[in-house]
Structure 1
């Protein structure tokens, strides 16, 4: 079974944090939410307080198949300023394993140099932080082991894309169909 760690910072976008967790768990992927606040509790971008599965200090990412960064402000900035997150993401990327970020959070990838020469997307206006990347303005962009998403409305296609990468296309399709996403896209 694939294993994913989703980082939560104060100011992270709720939708971009929780929809992938929900989609992955429906698809049989183990997901652990990780607070970088020093507490298990995190105040999200719109005032929702969440309890993460663990604190960053207690986590071991050696078994991670995917490390994920939600967007939102100041959440993405807080993730970018957290040296532990930066080291974990860079190590994951350099080992050839998946890393994903959505909305403003691809700024972390830009500051680490991992999108240089790659295709990437982000929330419009944040492309200036994608140092050396080809900005696609797509809902979801995959380039090697780097996956980026555009913003809140792109969270479902972004999550299904990642679920297919972690499991199978059939699993992702079944989860999308069960959540009525495919029906929505028919309209």
Structure 2
């Protein structure tokens, strides 16, 4: 079974963290939120407290994770960037050929982990300096190999549906897009 973990740090952007969780769970992809704060309760950038599924310290087998996700938000992305354990497991994830995703300010974590050199990536405008050797695309989302990056809050749905497509067939993704009325939005 596919396993996806998403990091949560104090100051995460709500939509960028929770929409991918929602969409992947609708697609029956196992996704768990992982707090790096030492506490399961994590406060978002806008004062919403979320209970993470587990703590960073509780994960014993990072190599069994198919994808790691990094939401944006400030100071959440900065807090993730400063966490040595997060940088280490992200680096190991990519080196192991497994997937990583980051959105908005989150790609700064990938830059700090040294895994964007020579890659194409996007991020929230103004954070390009943190991409450390990547070619900035300015796209809503960019896929380069086993790394996907998203631009910001408005990119969250297409970014999350693209992530779902890594693990589910086109019919499943289309069905969820339609059920969530995303196709209606796109046809306007």
Q: Verify same fold: TM over 0.5.
A: yes
**Which runs of 5 or more residues in structure 2 are unaligned?**
none
Partner of 1:119: 120
Contact 1:102 1:150 in 2 (8 A): yes
**Which runs of 5 or more residues in structure 1 are unaligned?**
none
Partner of 1:11: 11
Indicate yes or no: 2:146 matched with 1:176: no
**Deviation per residue, 1:53-95 (Å, 9 max, x gap):** 0111101322211000000000000000011111111110100
Residues 36-55 of structure 1: pairs in structure 2 closer than 5 A: 36-55=36-55
In 2: Cα distance, 1:30 partner to 1:79 partner:
22
**Deviation per residue, 1:6-61 (Å, 9 max, x gap):** 10000000000000000000001001110000000100000000100011110132
In 1: Cα distance, 2:89 partner to 2:29 partner:
20
- Deviation, structure 1 residue 168: 1.8
Secondary structure of the structure 2 residue equivalent to 1:16? helix
For normalisation by structure 1, the TM-score amounts to: 0.98
Secondary structure of the structure 2 residue equivalent to 1:6? strand
Indicate yes or no: 2:149 matched with 1:148: yes
Indicate yes or no: 2:77 matched with 1:76: yes
In 1: Cα distance, 2:55 partner to 2:77 partner:
17
Partner of 2:132: 131
Contact 2:87 2:112 in 1 (8 A): no
In 2: Cα distance, 1:65 partner to 1:119 partner:
21
- Deviation, structure 1 residue 173: 1.3
For normalisation by structure 2, the TM-score amounts to: 0.97
Partner of 1:25: 25
Contact 1:2 1:167 in 2 (8 A): no
Secondary structure of the structure 2 residue equivalent to 1:73? coil
Secondary structure of the structure 1 residue equivalent to 2:34? strand
In 1: Cα distance, 2:85 partner to 2:176 partner:
33
Contact 1:118 1:133 in 2 (8 A): yes
Count of matched residue positions in the alignment of Structure 1 and Structure 2: 187
